[in-house]
Amino acid sequence: MATQAPTRTNSIMRDNYGRRRVVNRIMVGLLCLCAIITLVPLFAVGGYVVREGWPALVGQFPGIFTAPSPEGGELLYGLEGTALLIAIACAIGLPIGILSGIYLAEFGRNRLGDTVRFMSDVLAGLPSIVAGIVAYSIVVLTTHHYTPFAGGLALGLLMFPTVTRATEGVVRLVPDTLREGGLALGVSRWRTIVSVIIPASLSGIITGVVLGIARVAGETAPLIFTVLGNLNGFSGWDQPLPALPLQIYQDFINPQDPNQDYPVGYAGVLVLFLFVVLLNLGARAVAARRMARGR
Amino acid sequence: MAISPKHQVEEPVAKQSVAMSALHKATVAHRRGGLVNGDTLFRGITTFFALSVLLVAVLMIATLWYNARASMAHFGFGFITSNAWDPNLKLLFGAGPFIFGTIVSSLMAIVLAGLVGVGVALLLVELRLPRWFSTPVSLLVEMLAAIPSVVYGVWGIFVLIPLMQAHIDPFLQKLFGWTPFFALDTSGGHSLLTAALVLAVMIVPTVTTISRDVIRVVPADQREALLALGGTQWEVIRFAVLPYARPGIIGALILAMGRAVGETMAVTMVIGNSSYIGPNVFSSADTLASRIANNLGDAGDLELSALFELGLILLVVSVLLNVLARLLVWSVSRGSAAMA
């Protein structure tokens, strides 16, 4: 760097300014073009989802949300299934995520901490289908049942890295004066963490949890062969379970009757899209407000 | 970060009073003789859960390995290159076409998303745009990553594929049809190219957010030096920012590639799901993730094992990509890589 820079800049200076200014204009224009190219798909997808989903949702309202009838209730079942799966995922993923995050922030300035930090970053990029087959082999292959637990396990595996890193981030932001205050008063360290540090960073931890939920709420791939999906809603802990993203996939890929399944699918797409986007926006808004407060 | 002085003064005081009362309660509890070695216990519990992160990683690889061992014993290393997939008669399986499809679709996606995504990151950081513009733009870009992949899949089927079939594919074919890469479109829009386009849209946010963060840590004096020499905005980017941030940007691209490699639903809905190795981007193909998703449900014993081996390959590839990417990104954030 240091040795190359002068020769490069010399070559810049020899060129005439007019040409360089034109190049500059063109390149800045291209950067703006990049932004437009990126945002076109967002509006294309969002517009499509609303255009198809809104009439479908309104047209079938409130039938698709009320259970159970021959031609209604699909979305209700899907939403119930998704809620159940998220609850199981939280039961598995949150203890690991939150407690390992606390470890990293409070005790993690050592080699184990570095390793765990690195590994949770790497696991954040875990392909969702891999979480699916791992859960499939651990639960479905051994119990010979499609069960909500298998799906919840897969989602939990996908969820916890997000929570780990978010928790570490916010717990670390708590000023050391609070920790020192606790120690100076003769309070044990764990008590300080539980009664002072965690309450002080609670809103941040919750933000991390919400982001974790948003990360997995729309996942389809790990559910195909763990909960399988069904048409009757939750029917037992050792039975297949429907879930909203899975239903959408099946409505479009394997429709029993496109005239009936597509509108349900479109309504589901809109509901899922809004749910995930709003979770994300909400978590980000809370996080941004906390940052603005300077914490 | 704009911190008003008022808050700076107020915050610690407010926090401290909460802290004091909580601490008081805590001290009382402590004197009453709670757990004597609560510290050791608490640290032990959190350490256990931290270790469980590592354990989960090992467990996943072990599970896949265990279930894939029949296939590994049966096909050996030939599995990786073989392009057989015959679950009915000869029971021959190979990963060749799926590795090919995965690599080609993600490479195409990363070329497209890389150019555009880094461009957006430079725009957001370097052009000193007003906040009312740059904040919503970066939020909207991040929202692209939040959209569930099945939604992209539905959009791909009903919007992108008809568009590809009717306009884009014929256009490209007319333009570049003389090369083997854009031979006749026989797959009705379900193609490697369509999959790559959907993937590109899905990974742009990863490229943009990470390279944005990397570009942000380029020291201001690097830019100022070039400005002092009379450099234009573009020359600052080209000669000061990009060389300094290069390892981190490469890291962002690899990380995004890791996401593309593992993406399942959107790809499986648009790629056509047929084994293909060849140069034609208009051909339908298949990826590792997509094959697993489609075949796992009703696979026989050996096919199941082969699918697990596909999963193992996918996991190893994505872990390697992630490790490499994290190292590169970290090297810039720590400010050491610019020397290299």
Question: For residue A199, what is the domain's CATH number?
Answer: 1.10.3720.10
If pLDDT is split at 50, 70 and 90, which confidence band does A7 have? low
Render A199-247 in DSSP notation, one character per residue: HHHHHHHHHHHHHHHHHHHT--GGGTTTTB--SS----TTS-B--HHHH
Residue B33 corresponds to which amino acid? G
pLDDT tens readout for residues B269-318 = 998 888 888 888 888 888 999 999 988 888 888 888 999 999 999 999 99
Query: Is the Cβ of A235 closer than 8 Å to some Cβ of chain B?
Result: no
Q: Inspect the interface and report whether the beta carbons of B147 and A38 lie closer than 8 Å.
A: no
Domain count, chain A: 2
| A184, A194: one domain | yes
Hey, is the C-beta of A14 within 8 angstroms of any chain B C-beta? no
Cβ of A202 under 8 Å from any chain B Cβ?
no
DSSP string, A13-50: HHS-HHHHHHHHHHHHHHHHHHHHHHHHHHHHHHHHHH
pLDDT at A183 over 80: yes
Residues A162 and A284 in one domain: yes
pLDDT reported for residue A11: 56
User: Which residues on adjacent β-strands are paired with residue B209?
Assistant: none
Summarised one tens digit per residue, pLDDT across range A13-69 is 555 788 888 888 999 899 989 989 999 999 999 999 999 888 888 887 776 676 555
Asked if residue A242 and residue A127 are part of one domain, the reply reads yes
For the record, the structure tokens of B288 come out as: 């590792």
Of B38, B142, B296, the CB nearest to A190: B38
Name the residue among A264, A270, A221 with its Cα closest to residue A246: A221
pLDDT for res A89: 95
Residue where a domain terminates, one of A58, A77, A92:
A58
On whether residue B194 sits in a domain, the answer given is yes
Measured in whole angstroms, the distance separating CA B87 from the mean position of its chain's CA atoms is 32
Instruction: Looking at the structure, tell me whether residues A269 and A208 fall in a common domain.
Output: yes
d(CA A197, CA A181): 11
Residues in B closer than 8 angstroms to A192, CB to CB, are: 23, 26
The complex's ipTM works out to 0.87
Q: Are residues A49 and A183 in the same domain?
A: no
**Omega of the bond leading into A62 within 30 degrees of 0 (cis):** yes
> Does a structural domain hold residue B288?
yes
User: What pLDDT score was predicted for residue B103?
Assistant: 92
> Which among B7, B50, B66 has the least Cβ separation from residue A116?
B50
Confidence label for A72 from pLDDT (cuts 50, 70 and 90): low
Domain annotation covers residue B314: no
Of the candidates B49, B50, B226, which has its C-beta nearest A112's C-beta?
Answer: B50
A103 touches chain B (CB under 8 A): yes
Shortest CA gap B137–chain A (Å):
8
Say what the pTM is: 0.85
Q: Which residue has the tokens 């190359």?
A: A4
A4 has a pLDDT exceeding 70: no
As a whole number, the mean pLDDT across chain A is 85
Identify the domain containing residue B222 by its residue range: 103-292+321-339
Q: Which residues of B touch A295 (CB under 8 A)?
A: 11
**Inter-chain touch B20–A253, beta carbons under 8 Å:** no
Interface-testing mutation among B15, B66, B151, with chain A (most A C-beta atoms within 10 A): B151
Q: Cα A14 to the chain's mean position, in Å?
A: 51
Closest partner residue to B8 (CB to CB) among A45, A141, A294 is A294
pLDDT tens, residue order, chain B (340 aa): 344 444 444 444 445 555 556 656 555 555 555 545 778 888 889 999 999 999 999 999 999 999 988 888 888 888 888 888 877 777 788 888 899 999 999 999 999 999 999 999 999 988 888 888 888 888 888 888 889 999 999 999 999 999 988 888 888 888 887 888 887 767 778 888 999 999 999 999 999 999 998 898 888 888 899 889 888 888 899 998 999 888 889 989 998 998 999 899 999 999 888 888 888 888 888 899 999 998 888 888 888 899 999 999 999 999 999 888 888 888 877 754 443 3
Provide the residue range defining the domain that includes A249: 60-292
pLDDT score of B12: 47
